[in-house]
């Protein structure tokens, strides 16, 4: 009997230790995830608290948390069983940030530039700079097939968790199809999640064009100057083959989740990880390396111009009037994850790449940048990744080995959590935007793209 009691005691102690471990490591991430997303969806997107909590925050384990909004305080808070309280604060110009590693009063007192787009009524200005559309689409497009393709992607799955919110189809620069779920429209502000990585690609390209960054040179990270990490180039960071130790895992506490929900300076946190492999040896998708790039951009642009940089040099030049790039608590754009924009803004972003980085006759991205972006990274065995964009190229010498077998090999796309996509197919003059809240019953993107392509001229 004594042995049984001892075994039970050990079991209980282990169980308690496990619960404490989970509470210590996981609860702050759950609280931070909920507070940050509730804040952004409230103050950037203008949505109702109940709707956000039941949809964006309605899945396990996030639904274990309790979340609330304070409209007077421009903030959202989260906790789990009353523990691990986290607060996210909205500031005009930089969106919502988790208040971690910094005094809230000091954080709120920072003076932020607010860069407004040019003043005009976009409904009176022709697409793509404005929102005025022609009255017809090219006769060669099969309208019925295109409508059927949109019906397909908006059809809800058995679990009711596909939740497509917006679809735009651009053919040869013109919007030829556009549809929104109930409650959403062309000016709705929606998250891109990891499509922010592709925005970071564009900002990097602009600095390469300016001569402030060199793709082949060692990445300008001071902490790496005297160790093996000095060999890591900016290209390695863009290609996610830096060789840095990292775990991109969102199902458990990991470097990726700790970075996003517990760290003041995300880029500095990621840059502190040691080298695990040689640069270029292996592709490993990493939000950490993207935030290192974001920190490098800050250092090269300089503090005075940094917070204005994406707006003056990218967003407002191509008509992305609703875009907001959010910062961490240390003031660096979260290049891996936190860019919000309207569906048409995301379409404009894709169109910039379809047009080889040129907008209205002005070269925004350097010559050759889009080709570099869509060239497979060293170590990407299936040729599946370029420079912060996913590729459909297939493995070298095996073009049939594609993500989407029924879609041309030159497809490249920005991709984000829960079904955010900007697909670009240069050979078919196509840009397709899909914004969703998919938490199951994901759309078969190969089938969707195949259907859209069937409606377009060959």
CATH code of the domain in which 242 resides: 3.40.710.10
Residues 232 and 85 both lie in one domain? no
Nearest Cα to 170, choosing from 2, 343, 286, 394?
Answer: 343
Tell whether the model's pLDDT for residue 47 goes beyond 90.
Answer: yes
Q: CA angle 366-370-376, nearest 5°?
A: 130
> Are β-strands 65-70 and 83-91 bridged in parallel, bridged antiparallel, or unpaired?
unpaired
CA atoms in the 13 A half-sphere facing the CB of 379: 19
Q: Summarize pLDDT for 363-408 with one digit per residue, the tens.
A: 999 999 999 999 999 999 888 999 999 999 877 667 678 999 999 9
The 10s digit of each residue's pLDDT in 115-152 is 999 999 999 999 999 999 999 999 999 999 999 999 99
Same domain, 99 and 203: no
pLDDT score, position 381: 86
Instruction: Match 């949505």 to its residue by tokens.
Output: 47
Residue 120 lies in a domain: no
DSSP structural state of residue 59: S
Report pLDDT digits (tens) over 189-210. Answer: 999 999 999 999 999 999 999 9
Predicted local distance difference test score (pLDDT) of residue 105? 96
User: Three-state SS for 321?
Assistant: coil
Residue 339 and residue 403 in one domain: yes
Query: What is the average per-residue pLDDT within 212-223?
Result: 97
Q: Write the CA distances from 373 to 294, 386, 396, integer angstroms.
A: 17, 5, 16
DSSP per-residue letters across 127-153? TTTSSB--S---TTS-HHHHHHHHHHH
The verdict on residue 241 lying in a domain is yes
Which of 62, 84, 109 marks a domain boundary? 109
Question: Among 109, 132, 163, which residue terminates a domain?
Answer: 109
Integer CA distances (angstroms), 266 to 64, 285, 304, in order: 26, 16, 20
pLDDT value, residue 16:
45
CA distance 205 to 404: 27
Closest CA to 411 of 454, 449, 442, 378: 449
- Note the pTM of the prediction, 2 decimals: 0.95
**Residue 94: pLDDT above 90?**
yes
d(CA 179, CA 177): 7
Lowest mean pLDDT among 20-24, 255-259, 429-433: 20-24
Q: What is the dihedral of CA 259, 415, 356, 95, to 10 degrees?
A: -50
- Reading the block at residue 241, the tokens are 């083959």
386 vs 414: CA distance, rounded Å = 11
Q: Within the chain, how many helices (H) and strands (E) appear?
A: 14, 15
How far is residue 63's CA from residue 73's CA, in Å, rounded to a whole number? 24
Q: How far apart are CA 382 and CA 107, in angstroms?
A: 44
Question: 130 lies in a domain?
Answer: no
- Rounded CA separation 136/133 (Å): 8
**Residue 22: band (very low, low, confident or very high) from pLDDT cuts 50, 70, 90:** low
- Tell whether 282 and 383 lie within a shared domain: yes
Taking CA atoms, 62 is separated from 251, 440, 441, 442, in Å, by 11, 16, 19, 20
Domain that holds residue 49: 2-109
CA atoms of 103 and 105, how far apart (whole Å): 6
* 166 in any annotated domain: yes
d(CA 376, CA 378): 7
Whether 57 is in a domain gets the answer yes
Q: Do 318 and 200 have their domain in common?
A: yes
201/327 same-domain check? yes
Question: Which has more pLDDT, 36 or 397?
Answer: 36
pLDDT of residue 17: 45
Would you say residue 245 has pLDDT above 90?
yes
In a domain, 310, yes or no: yes
Kind of pairing, strands 190-191 and 324-325?
A: unpaired
Mean pLDDT (the chain) is 94
**Is the residue at 316 inside a domain?**
yes
Q: Are both 182 and 97 inside the same structural domain? A: no
Q: Which helix (H) or strand (E) holds 391?
A: strand 390-391
Report pLDDT for 10. Answer: 55
220 in Cβ contact with 296 (< 8 Å)? yes
Summarize the confidence of residues 429-454 as an average pLDDT: 96
Whether 227 and 84 map to the same domain: the answer is: no
Q: What's the rounded mean pLDDT across residues 217-245? A: 97
What does DSSP assign to residue 270? H
Q: Please count the structural domains in the chain.
A: 2
Structure tokens at 51: 């709707």
* Domain assignment of residue 219, yes or no: yes
Among 284, 282, 288, 289, CA closest to 257: 288
pLDDT tens-place string over residues 48-60: 999 999 999 999 9
Residue 147 and residue 69 in one domain: no
Which among 65, 52, 55, 69 is positioned nearest to 26, based on CA atoms? 65
| Domain termination site, one of 109, 130, 161 | 109
* Same domain for 151 and 65: no
97 plus 162 within the same structural domain: no
pLDDT of res. 349 = 98
207 & 100 share domain: no
Task: For residues 355-360, give the mean pLDDT.
Answer: 98
Q: Which two tokens stand for residue 150?
A: 């949109």
């Amino acid at each position: 009997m004594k042995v049984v009691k001892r075994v039970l005691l050990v079991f209980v102690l282990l169980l308690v230790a496990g619960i404490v471990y989970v509470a210590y490591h996981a609860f702050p991430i759950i609280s931070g995830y909920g507070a940050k997303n509730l804040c952004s969806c409230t103050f950037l997107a203008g949505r109702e608290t109940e709707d956000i909590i039941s949809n964006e925050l309605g899945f396990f384990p996030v639904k274990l948390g309790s979340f609330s909004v304070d409209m007077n305080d421009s903030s959202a808070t989260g906790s789990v069983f009353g523990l691990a309280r986290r607060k996210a604060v909205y500031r005009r110009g930089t969106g919502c940030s988790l208040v971690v590693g910094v005094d809230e009063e000091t954080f709120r007192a920072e003076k932020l530039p607010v860069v407004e787009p040019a003043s005009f009524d976009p409904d009176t200005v022709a697409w793509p700079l404005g929102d005025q559309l022609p009255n017809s689409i090219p006769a060669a497009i099969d309208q019925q097939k295109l409508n059927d393709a949109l019906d397909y992607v908006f059809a809800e799955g058995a679990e009711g968790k596909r939740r497509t919110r917006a679809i735009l189809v651009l053919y040869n620069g013109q919007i030829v199809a556009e549809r929104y779920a109930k409650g959403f429209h062309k000016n709705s502000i929606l998250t891109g999640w990891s499509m922010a990585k592709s925005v970071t690609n564009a900002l990097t390209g602009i600095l390469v064009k300016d001569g402030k960054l060199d793709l082949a040179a060692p990445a300008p990270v001071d902490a790496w100057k005297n160790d093996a990490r000095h060999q890591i180039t900016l290209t390695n960071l863009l290609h996610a083959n830096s060789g840095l130790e990292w775990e991109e895992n969102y199902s458990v506490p990991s470097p990726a989740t700790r970075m996003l929900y517990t760290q003041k300076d995300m880029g500095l946190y990621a840059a502190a990880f040691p080298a695990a492999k040689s640069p270029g040896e292996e592709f490993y998708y990493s939000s950490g390396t993207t935030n290192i790039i974001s920190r490098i951009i800050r250092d090269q642009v300089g503090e005075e111009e940094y917070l204005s940089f994406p707006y003056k040099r990218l967003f407002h030049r191509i008509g992305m009037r609703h875009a907001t790039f959010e910062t961490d608590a240390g003031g660096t754009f979260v290049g891996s994850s936190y860019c919000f924009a309207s569906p048409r803004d995301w379409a404009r972003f894709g169109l910039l790449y379809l047009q080889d980085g040129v907008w209205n006759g002005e070269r925004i991205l350097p010559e050759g940048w889009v080709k570099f972006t869509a060239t497979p990274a060293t170590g990407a065995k299936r040729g599946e990744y370029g420079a912060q964009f996913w590729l459909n190229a297939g493995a070298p010498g095996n073009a049939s080995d594609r993500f989407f077998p029924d879609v041309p090999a030159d497809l490249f796309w920005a991709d984000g959590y829960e079904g955010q996509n900007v697909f670009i197919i240069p050979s078919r003059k196509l840009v397709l935007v899909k914004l969703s809240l998919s938490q199951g019953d994901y759309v078969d993107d190969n089938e969707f793209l195949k259907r859209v392509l069937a409606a377009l001229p060959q």
